Amino acid sequence: MLMASSKKISGPKSDGKYPDRNIDCQTAIAFRVVELIEEAENSGWTAIEAAKAIQEVSRGLFVGHAGKDRNE
């Protein structure tokens, strides 16, 4: 069962590219990542396992979006 978060993810501080836009995005989504890790822990996974899984899933999504692995 998915738990809906009561907090909404905030958008960018301004349109287009700007310094620290990536940091602003990380800040905006961090609470949801924490919630996801907590939900995984409640299901029996460790926080480390969940964090590593999130990292790998994120990397896979990035590779799929970009069409290549930027580390190759």
Name the residue among 26, 61, 20 with its Cα closest to residue 9. 26
What is the per-residue DSSP string for 13-29?
SSSS--TTHHHHHHHHH
- What pLDDT, on a 0 to 100 scale, did the predictor assign at position 3? 59
**pLDDT class of 1 with cuts at 50, 70, 90:** very low
> Which tokens is 15 given?
């349109």
Mean local confidence (pLDDT), 7-23: 95
What pLDDT sits at residue 64? Answer: 83
* pLDDT at 37 (0 to 100): 98
25/71 Cα distance (integer angstroms) = 22
pLDDT digits (tens, 9 = 90+) for 32-69: 999 999 999 999 999 999 999 999 999 999 888 766 66
Instruction: State how far the alpha carbon of 2 is from the alpha carbons of 5, 25, 35, 36, 40, in Å.
Output: 9, 23, 11, 10, 11
Q: How confident is the model at residue 4 (pLDDT cuts 50, 70, 90)?
A: low
